């Protein structure tokens, strides 16, 4: 069964306009972003594994461009499913609740935490009132060989945010055992500007002259941790 309502991948937030957390490592190069790809219809013989959504399935981290100062937190998946044929993952999708963006680093500063989360949900970033969900739909699954991240597979998928769909490839560790699937990724990076998330990004003309200490990096680190059970 193919689900049409998803959007984790990926995912997804970035540093706001309040005091930042302690300095962290700068984000690495973003994964390749391509135009949306066709999603294959699962074979009628495929098995469906339904996602177990118990919170904090995605972690995110965003940065200021030049200082590397960061914010980090979690975001939740509300529903999803994976398709399996002959014991191999072949497809699936999941839905991300953009309204669940949570800043973990500011947990002990409620006022600043509320300000950052509100800003991330605003039109400056993810416009949650207009686009409350993001979705990720798998378009291709490839077995990874000699992957330095420890990934067993490379997953191509359409990530939709703010009404924009782009295809990305992410590494994943996929384990199937006792009627369950564990789907985990190492940290990977997306470029928010590809989904028109513009605030203080020097990729856009209105922020081309933003002060260095105010510029926010396009790159966002993400990590996905999902489980699903055989339906």
Does the residue 13 lie in any domain? no
pTM: 0.86
DSSP state of 117: H
Does the residue 14 lie in any domain? no
pLDDT of residue 203: 93
| Residues 26 and 70 sit within 8 Å (Cβ to Cβ) | no
How do residues 12-43 score in pLDDT, each as one tens digit?
333 333 333 444 455 678 999 999 999 988 88
Overall number of domains in the chain? 1
What separation, in Å, do the N-terminal and C-terminal C-alpha atoms of the chain show? 10
Does the residue 22 lie in any domain? no
| Residue range of the domain that includes 76 | 33-230
Which of residues 213 and 59 earns the better pLDDT score? 59
CA distance 123 to 198: 9
DSSP state of 145: S
How do residues 46-66 score in pLDDT, each as one tens digit?
899 999 998 779 999 999 888
Average pLDDT, the chain: 88
Does the residue 4 lie in any domain? no
Does the residue 3 lie in any domain? no
Provide the percentage of residues in the chain whose pLDDT is more than 90. Answer: 77
How do residues 90-138 score in pLDDT, each as one tens digit?
999 999 999 999 999 999 999 999 999 999 999 999 999 999 999 999 9
Does the residue 26 lie in any domain? no
Task: Return the CATH number at 51.
Answer: 2.40.128.110
For tokens 């706001």, the residue is: 16
Shortest CA distance to 80 belongs to which of 55, 121, 45, 52?
52
* Mean pLDDT calculated for residue range 79-87: 95
| Residues 103 and 73 sit within 8 Å (Cβ to Cβ) | yes
Range in 54-68, 150-164, 179-193 with the lowest mean pLDDT: 54-68
Does the residue 7 lie in any domain? no
| Residues 2 and 42 sit within 8 Å (Cβ to Cβ) | yes
Cβ–Cβ contacts within 10 Å for residue 69, how many? 18
Does the residue 19 lie in any domain? no
């Amino acid at each position: 069964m193919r689900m049409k309502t998803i959007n984790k991948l990926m995912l997804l937030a970035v540093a706001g306009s309040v005091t930042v957390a302690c300095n962290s490592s700068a984000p690495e190069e973003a994964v390749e972003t391509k135009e949306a790809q066709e999603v294959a219809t699962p074979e009628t013989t495929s098995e469906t594994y339904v996602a177990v959504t118990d919170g904090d399935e995605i972690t995110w981290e965003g940065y200021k461009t030049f200082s590397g100062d960061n914010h980090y937190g979690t975001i939740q998946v509300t529903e999803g499913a994976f398709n399996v044929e002959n014991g191999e993952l072949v497809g699936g999708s999941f839905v991300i609740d953009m309204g669940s963006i949570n800043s973990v680093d500011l947990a002990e500063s409620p006022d600043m935490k509320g300000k950052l989360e509100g800003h991330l949900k605003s039109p400056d970033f993810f416009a949650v009132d207009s686009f409350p969900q993001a979705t990720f739909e798998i378009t291709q699954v490839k077995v990874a060989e000699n992957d330095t991240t420890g990934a067993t597979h490379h997953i191509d998928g359409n990530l939709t945010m703010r009404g924009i769909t782009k295809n990305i490839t992410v590494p994943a560790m996929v384990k199937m055992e006792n009627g369950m699937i564990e789907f985990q990724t190492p940290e990977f990076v997306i470029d928010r500007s590809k989904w028109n998330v513009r605030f203080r990004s020097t990729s856009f003309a209105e922020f081309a002259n933003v002060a260095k200490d105010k510029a926010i990096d396009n790159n966002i680190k993400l990590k996905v941790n999902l489980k699903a059970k055989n339906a």
